[in-house]
């Protein structure tokens, strides 16, 4: 450590007016009329330096200065107070502290004295009193940072902190290493990074424990190993493609430090069964878990804002809760999964038109109040549809204004309510929904496009009077159409003889 090489003198102008009474009758120093000096003395290692200042001789005719402590040991950034008394009466006090660069600082008000790093002796002198000294030693308890590479592994092995050295790491079956350690040189070290390819192709490595000191796990760190389970601690803020080729990985827990799961990061991890995503992740990338054909349990943290394209396509997920933080779910995100029901929370404002394509087991959909549009074919079945052959129950949020063409075509929906904010029903929107018996149309609908309910052979439909436009064959084949005599659409364009294709009709007065 560097020692104090320079003598520094700092003059503090005192502001305390109380005198320090001299016990021997000698005139006592006062803090309002005198200066006191802080002198940095060289460390004992520099005693041979001819420039070293000699100790002040004691004058028995004046009182002694006394200090609250004569020795201080401070870690980096720590602070203490030195109180100066004379004959039992406080003259003044000042702060002594260390900086991150090891410098020692003595401070009173807006005046500071800086001393070089390490250990130093400070003399407090006051005219009319014998001086006093105190020592300050900086305890450097800072940690050096290391990457877990072959050299670091060998250091850990030397200290018996791991089971093998770098030469034999391919024989590892279980990896456990400390996040910090003290080496033989007495220096503390902290491991913050696992280097690229460090344990790749370790054919027997089945178990790993990653300490909370790690912030980065580089690409291929554990590639092509038979690891079965991994927990990414909260400390990790950067996870690269570290587990490429880990075909035995069954469970992964992602801590709260990561903000993103990268595109394709766990693509086709065919053994993966359980994924738990922490509360720090805001984005799940495109195809992040796509084609993980055995993935059956998924927990998404409450900070995720975006679920990317094909993120969970082709998995075995049957149940999922989408948190209220999610704003965007992109196309094919859950394509081909056996999900049975889904709630789109109010936070979602963008939903891909093919998000649930080929979800043949999906029976129930609740659409929250964040969406303003249900897109073409979004929940459809049949030819050129999304393959939602089991869909029976749909609840539409109150913010939806438009339901586009074929949105629910060919599904098994039995009843549905169209909210009051919806103004238009698209072409063939409910075409061939052969189980549909009841539709409640809200007071905002003014347009029903061609073939909207065609083929709904069980449907008895009542139109509100504000409907102004009805497309060709809008009700072709439905059981019965009921409409008021003052229906707006008739006022501008009389009803066709077949009443838009309905089997029967009924006109009523409002």
List per-residue pLDDT tens for the chain, 510 residues long: 333 322 233 333 232 222 233 333 333 333 322 223 333 332 333 333 334 444 456 677 788 889 998 888 887 778 889 998 988 888 888 888 877 655 677 777 766 666 666 778 888 877 788 888 888 887 766 678 899 999 999 999 999 999 999 999 999 999 999 999 999 988 889 999 999 999 999 999 999 999 999 999 999 999 999 999 999 999 999 999 999 999 999 999 999 999 999 999 999 999 999 999 999 999 999 999 999 999 999 999 999 999 999 999 999 999 999 999 999 999 999 999 999 999 999 999 999 989 999 999 999 999 999 999 999 999 998 767 788 999 999 999 999 999 999 999 999 999 999 999 999 999 999 999 999 999 999 999 999 999 999 999 999 999 999 999 999 999 999 999 999 988 888 877 888 888 889 999 999 887
Judged by phi (left if over 0) then psi (alpha if -120 to 50, else beta), residue 125 lies in: beta
Which residue from 295, 301, 222 is spatially nearest to 261, judged by alpha carbons?
301
Q: Do residues 192 and 212 touch, judged by C-beta distance below 8 A?
A: no
Give the per-residue pLDDT at 141. 63
Q: Which CATH class is domain 401-510?
A: alpha beta
d(Cα 361, Cα 391) in Å, to the nearest integer? Answer: 8
- Give the number of other Cβ atoms within 10 Å of residue 331's Cβ: 16
Give the per-residue pLDDT at 336. 95
Query: How much is the pTM?
Result: 0.74
405-427 as b/e: b if 16+ CB within 10 A = bbbbbbbbbeebebbebbebbbb
The secondary element (H helix, E strand) that includes residue 219 is none
Q: Which residue shows structure tokens 């409910």?
A: 430
The secondary element (H helix, E strand) that includes residue 488 is helix 488-492
Q: Do residues 279 and 258 touch, judged by C-beta distance below 8 A?
A: no
State which fold the 142-249 domain adopts: 3.80.10
User: Do the two domains 142-249 and 401-510 of this chain adopt the same fold?
Assistant: yes
Give the per-residue pLDDT at 96. 83
d(Cα 21, Cα 53) in Å, to the nearest integer? Answer: 30
Torsion of CA 211, 216, 219, 224, to 10 degrees: 10
Contacts of 369 (CB under 8 A, 6+ apart): 346, 397, 398, 399
Give the per-residue pLDDT at 50. 37
Give the per-residue pLDDT at 284. 98
The secondary element (H helix, E strand) that includes residue 150 is helix 150-158
Which residue from 303, 218, 210 is spatially nearest to 256, judged by alpha carbons?
303
Give the per-residue pLDDT at 12. 36
Which residue from 260, 210, 259, 262 is spatially nearest to 232, judged by alpha carbons?
210
For the stretch 185-226, pLDDT in tens is: 888 899 999 999 999 999 999 999 999 999 999 999 999 999
- Give the number of other Cβ atoms within 10 Å of residue 429's Cβ: 25
> What are the structural domain ranges in the chain?
9-139, 142-249, 401-510
């Amino acid at each position: 450590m560097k020692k104090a090489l320079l003598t520094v003198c700092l003059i503090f102008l005192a502001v305390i007016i109380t005198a320090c009474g001299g016990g021997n009758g000698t005139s006592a120093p006062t803090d309002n009329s005198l200066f006191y000096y802080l002198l940095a003395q060289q460390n004992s290692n520099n005693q041979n330096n001819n420039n070293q200042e000699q100790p002040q001789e004691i004058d028995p005719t004046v009182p002694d200065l006394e200090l609250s402590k004569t020795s201080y040991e401070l870690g980096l950034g720590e602070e203490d107070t030195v109180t100066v008394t004379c004959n039992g009466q406080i003259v003044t006090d000042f702060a002594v502290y260390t900086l991150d660069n090891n410098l020692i600082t003595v401070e009173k008000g807006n005046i500071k004295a800086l001393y070089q790093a390490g250990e130093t002796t400070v003399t407090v002198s006051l005219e009319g009193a014998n001086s006093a000294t105190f020592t300050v030693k900086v305890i450097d308890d800072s940690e050096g940072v290391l990457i877990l590479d072959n050299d670091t592994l060998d250091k850990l092995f030397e200290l018996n902190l791991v089971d093998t050295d770098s030469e034999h790491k391919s024989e590892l079956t279980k990896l456990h290493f400390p996040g910090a350690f003290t080496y033989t040189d007495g220096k503390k070290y902290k491991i913050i990074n696992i280097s690229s390819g460090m344990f790749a192709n370790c054919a027997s490595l089945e178990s790993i424990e990653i300490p909370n000191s790690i912030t980065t796990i580089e690409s291929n760190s554990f590639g092509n190993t038979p690891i079965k389970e991994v927990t990414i601690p909260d400390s990790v803020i950067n996870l690269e493609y570290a587990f490429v080729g880990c075909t035995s990985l069954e469970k992964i827990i992602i801590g709260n430090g990561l903000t993103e799961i990268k595109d394709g990061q766990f693509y086709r991890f065919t053994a993966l069964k359980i994924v738990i995503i922490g509360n720090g992740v805001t984005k799940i990338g495109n195809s992040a878990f796509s084609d993980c054909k055995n993935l059956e349990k998924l927990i998404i943290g409450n900070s995720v804002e975006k679920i990317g394209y094909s993120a969970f396509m082709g998995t075995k997920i049957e149940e999922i809760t989408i948190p209220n933080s999610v704003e965007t779910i992109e196309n094919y995100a859950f394509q081909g999964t056996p999900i049975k029901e889904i709630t789109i929370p109010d936070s979602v404002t963008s939903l891909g038109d093919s998000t649930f394509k080929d979800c043949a087991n999906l029976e129930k959909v609740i659409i929250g109040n964040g969406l303003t549009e249900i897109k073409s074919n979004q929940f459809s079945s049949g030819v050129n549809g999304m393959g939602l052959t089991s869909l029976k129950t749909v609840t539409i949020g109150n913010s939806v204004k438009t339901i586009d063409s074929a949105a629910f075509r060919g599904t098994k929906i039995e009843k549905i309510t169209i909210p009051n904010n919806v103004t238009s029903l698209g072409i063939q929107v409910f075409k061939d929904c052969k189980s549909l018996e009841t539709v409640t149309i809200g007071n905002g609908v003014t347009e029903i496009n061609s073939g909207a309910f065609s083929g709904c052979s069980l449907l008895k439909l009542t139109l509100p009077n504000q409907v102004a436009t009805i497309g060709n064959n809008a009700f072709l084949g439905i059981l019965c159409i009921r409409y008021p005599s003052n229906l707006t659409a008739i006022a501008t364009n009389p009803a066709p003889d077949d009443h838009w294709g309905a089997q029967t009709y009924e006109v009523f007065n409002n």
